[in-house]
Structure 1
Amino acid sequence: MKHAKARTVAALALVLLASGCSQPKEEKRAFEVPDSLCGTPVPAELLSPVLPASGTKIEEERKPGKGYFSCRVVVDGTTVLTADWNWTEKGRTPRSVAYDNPYLDIAEHEGGGGKYVYSSTGGVSRVTCDPVVAHRKGKYELFARVFVSDGEKSAPAMEKLITTYAEALSASSECEQK
């Protein structure tokens, strides 16, 4: 009887070991993480944590307009990240801009002395344009926003992404004196 129990335990251990080895391997990214976010320079190491861990194809769908820009980052046909910026009447706060979309909760934390807000799903930052673009006549401010569509990410990763994106926008043609 002792040997029968030992054989049963050994057989069970082999079955469990074999089933553990036959788990499907986690897919890896087949796409290269870009070093820009919708045409604005952002290091790939800041984008990587907010993009899916797997997928085969990454694309950007850009929608420029007068005084605004919107872009969706799409992986395998699914929107995973949105980045946009727009000129807003002076006097708004990043928190009030974040609440323009009631379906997003991207104002959980505040940083930079009130310059930006962020959460594990996105962030909003005021973009410093010095001097203010002449055609805006000091009546408007530029705000940048990023948010993920495929669940929560790391709040510190989102903070780094929104601040880097806003800083890069401050050096863009949208902020240059015209």
Structure 2
Amino acid sequence: MRHKTYILRGVSAVVAAAAVFAAAGCSADEPRREFTVPKALCGVSVPVDALSRLLPASGKKLTTEADGSTDDVLLCKINVDDVMVLALSRERIVAGDSARHILYTQLRITQPKFAEGTSIAYADDAAVSLLKCRGADVQNEDISTLVKVLKPARSDESAMKSLITDYTAKVKKQGPCKKRSSY
């Protein structure tokens, strides 16, 4: 009986050791992420965890580029190893469009999910939000934000929802609605 116990323990130890070496061998061969996930996109802080889940699982160098002005039109691009993997655009638009309509006309996404009522429409690889600027002292306009994940980045519906919701809330806190000019 004792002999069988030692054999079973020995087999268990060999199996455990083989599993450790196999796991170590696999992870050494797989490419890994060497870049740092940014805490902000074009001057607006973002949830790092959500952005991390959308970015590629591997890569050496991450860069961000901003084109346009922060007032009217802004394009923020994230590149990993010189390949654009995520684009975020923000612009002032004529009041009255919907997040769903923008997501459909820009990216042909037909069945998005919604957050914040219907002011945010999202899918696993894209999202749109609308901030409505209304009131006696502001111009009657909307601010649209569109986020699109491009390959080799990863699609993740919950991460996209978190990213667009948090980003939109931070933009709103900045008070982006333009004051009405007095003529």
TM over 0.5: yes
Offset, 1:109: 1.3
Report whether the alignment pairs 1:143 with 2:144: yes
Offset, 1:133: 7.1
Report whether the alignment pairs 1:27 with 2:31: yes
1:162 maps to which residue?
164
Q: Is the 8 A contact 2:127 2:147 kept in 1?
A: yes
- Provide the identity percentage: 26
Offset, 1:173: 5.7
Aligned residues: 158
1:12 maps to which residue?
none
Runs of 5+ in structure 1 lacking a partner?
Answer: 1-16
Q: Is the 8 A contact 1:87 1:142 kept in 2?
A: yes
1:46 maps to which residue?
50
Distance 1:55 1:141, change over 3 A: same
Provide the rounded CA distance (Å) in 2 between the counterparts of 1:106 and 1:78. Answer: 27
| 1:80 maps to which of 70, 85, 88 | 85
| 1:122 maps to which of 123, 126, 142 | 126
Report whether the alignment pairs 1:97 with 2:99: no
Report whether the alignment pairs 1:172 with 2:174: yes
1:63 maps to which residue?
67
Query: Over aligned residue pairs, what C-alpha RMSD do you find?
Result: 2.7
Q: Is the 8 A contact 2:56 2:154 kept in 1?
A: no
Which amino acid letter does the alignment assign opposite residue 116 of structure 1?
I
Runs of 5+ in structure 2 lacking a partner?
Answer: 1-17
Distance 1:131 1:95, change over 3 A: same
Deviations 1:79-134 (A, max 9, x none): 100001111111110011112324x5385212221111100111001125576874
